[in-house]
Amino acid sequence: MTGAAPAGRLAGKIALVTGASRGIGAATARALAAAGAHVILVARTTRDLEVVEQAIFDAGGSATIAPCDLTEPDAIPRLASAITSRWSALDVLVINAAVLPVLTPVWQIEPRDLNRGLLLNVAATQALIASFHAALRKSSGARVIGVTSSVGAAPRAYWGAYGASKAAFDNLLTAYAQEVAAISPIRVALVDPGATRTAMRARAYPGEDPASVKPPETVAARIAALAGEDFASPYRERIDAALNKS
């Protein structure tokens, strides 16, 4: 479903957001649409994507849902084929979908749980870059924005599985930024949202008052702004705790 896209700094741009059915992903999709982009919403659950799409449409924006389980074999190449058959260039790629493995000591990590985290947080990231690189190259100034975590750069007890996956995530995106810097206008940014009111945060900190941390819209606004900015690549930014407002 689409509506008349509002005029804005991203008017005419095509953006894809993974994990777009809730939390930071959904808020980012709405923010990008509000800035004028046509947003492709990617997540597993069709019904949840339709809710986000309708919210974008109701606000006068434009979106397309693309239900997809990024961990399924060949799912990402099929997604890219479907999208690039309709749009030749991709201007914004927001890699937000992630899974939080069980928080536990390293010696108690279940291999199946670790593999699940590595599959979505790392392998799917590489597959997204591989599958959409050509479309990003066709944009006049593509932006790839990865939503990361501080535990990827600063290990924390009990967070080893998730931290390891995010360290690899950061490494992949930083290497990609260096590889394309001299041959294309693609710019790559890593955004660490910090403490944010999401379902993942609630699972990690079950006793925390959700109102004590910032809403996902705060992070989404900054991601949408980055999508229209120029910056030295690779670029990394943490959304400061001073912005925590309900």
Q: Which residues are catalytic?
A: 162
Among residues 144, 151, 168, the alpha carbon closest in space to that of 227 is found at: 144
Q: Nearest to residue 44, comparing CAs of 120, 101, 103?
A: 120
- Which class for 3: exposed (0-12), middle (13-18), buried (19 or more C-beta within 10 A)? middle
Look at the alpha carbons of 90, 80, 123, 182 in this order and tell me if their dihedral is positive or negative.
negative
**Structure token digits, residue 58:** 């109701």
In the chain, which ranges are continuous DSSP H helix? 23-34, 46-58, 75-84, 111-118, 124-137, 160-180, 199-204, 216-227
